A and B are shown apart, each in its own frame.
Chain A
Amino acid sequence: MIEEQNVVKVGMADLNVVKTSGIIRTTGLGSCVGLTLYDKNVQLAGMAHVMLPSSEIAREGQLNIAKYADTALPELLKRMTDMGAIRSRLVAKMAGGAQMFTFSSGGDHMRIGPRNVEACKLFLKEYNIPLLAEDTGANYGRTIEMNCITGMLSIRSVQMGKKEI
């Protein structure tokens, strides 16, 4: 375990930013995607725990923008640039988007993990942010944390142990 110093937690359908020292973490990503942005110059790391690909299907009165790929990324960008990040310096990494259960039949919601990954990539492309690395897909859960000094994203899973991207 990494020491519990200055750990900023990101819940499900939540996003947050950490600056200069510390770690930003989200636990138990299944079909959700942990999308991270990083600006090395100002040591600013942002993370969103994206649950669904598009806000178009949203029926809630007050939209939780952290929840959807198409709304989480603009919000994360805005928060980070407000804190001094420069958009052209930002790089992205992401993990998650698993298919926790596989079925021979089943509707579109069964493959929500891969769809979340596709949607995140689409929006990164739209905002012209390079995707440096990803650990997505497969059928297992992941806990991820980003170190805002190094920009390393470390990924823990039950089946595959720990790795860094």
Chain B
Amino acid sequence: MDLFKRLEGFKMDVLKEVGNIGAGNAATALSQLLDKPIDMAVPKVQILPFEQIADKVGGPEQIVLAIFFRVEGEAPGNLFFVLTPEAGKGLLHRMAGIEASDEEFFTEMEQSALAEIGNILAGSYLSSLADFTGLSMSPTVPGLSMDMAGAILNYGLLQFGQMGDDALLIDTTFLEGNEEVEGQFFLIPDPESFDKIFKSLGVPLQDD
């Protein structure tokens, strides 16, 4: 069975809409948190070789701040909120009034605040998907890391590692005006989740 051969254009559009709804809600939540308008780019749904996934955030060695959630429930997967360390400091400042220390790294207090921000966004992303699909989806406690993008994102690909060298990801960038800001959401559904998502949305599955 080749999962990706069965994902023709129509199904990719369905997944794009899934990303649209989730990220739309997260963008609204972020707007409320920051009290300013936050827009988002139309989500991209792509099947990418493992090697190229870290390129979406500037290459495997690019230092990023990532908040990771394992999605549990009927359509499991991996969810990342990825931002630059500078954007992380900006978020802390505007949201929690925390003036980030000059240090290169985040203090425990800052990490905890960031994880909580991520939690709010991931919660709104997933709850809208759960409403839309009728499937239960809930995030685990967030994990936070500031490290090389390759090392972080590859962690989300392990489920795909069992069946190939590509993964499907739904990638949404937040915008302020026309500028990319704040971060990107990456949703990497487990291979098993696709059929459930399609079925829940009434998309006919192929027999073979």
Q: Do A and B assemble together?
A: yes
Residue numbers of A with Cβ under 8 A of B are: 11-13, 27-32, 51-52, 57-61, 64, 67, 98, 100-106, 109-110, 112, 139-143, 157-159
Residue in B closest to A55 when the chains form the complex, CB atoms: B162
Number of A-B contacts (CB under 8 A): 101
Q: How far is the CB of A35 from chain B (nearest CB, A)?
A: 16
Q: A67 to B162, alpha carbons, bound, how many Å?
A: 9
Kindly state whether residue B150 has any CB partner on chain A within 8 Å. yes
Q: Are A13 and B63 in contact (CB under 8 A)?
A: no
B165 interfacial contact with A, CB 8 Å: yes
For the complex, what is the distance from the CA of A106 to the CA of B70, rounded to whole Å? 9
Which of chain B's residues have a CB closer than 8 A to the CB of A61?
A: 2
14 contacts between A and B (CB under 8 A): A12-B50, A28-B61, A30-B154, A31-B155, A51-B161, A100-B68, A101-B145, A103-B140, A104-B141, A110-B70, A140-B151, A157-B147, A158-B63, A158-B148
Chain B 78-121 near chain A by CB (<8 Å), digits 1 or 0 = 00000000000000000000000000010000000000000000
Is the CB–CB distance between B140 and A158 below 8 Å? no
In the complex, chain B residues 129-167 whose Cβ is within 8 Å of any chain A Cβ: 140-141, 143-152, 154-155, 157-159, 161-165
| Chain B, residue nearest A109 (CB) | B158
Q: For chain B, give the interface size range.
A: 20 to 34
Question: B63 contacts which chain A residues (CB < 8 A)?
Answer: 158
Apart from A27-B150, A141-B151, list 4 A-B contacts with CB within 8 A: A30-B150, A59-B163, A60-B164, A64-B165
Closest residue to B144 on the A side, CB-wise?
A101
- Determine which residue in B54, B145, B151, B157 has the highest number of CB atoms from chain A within 10 A of its CB, and name it: B151
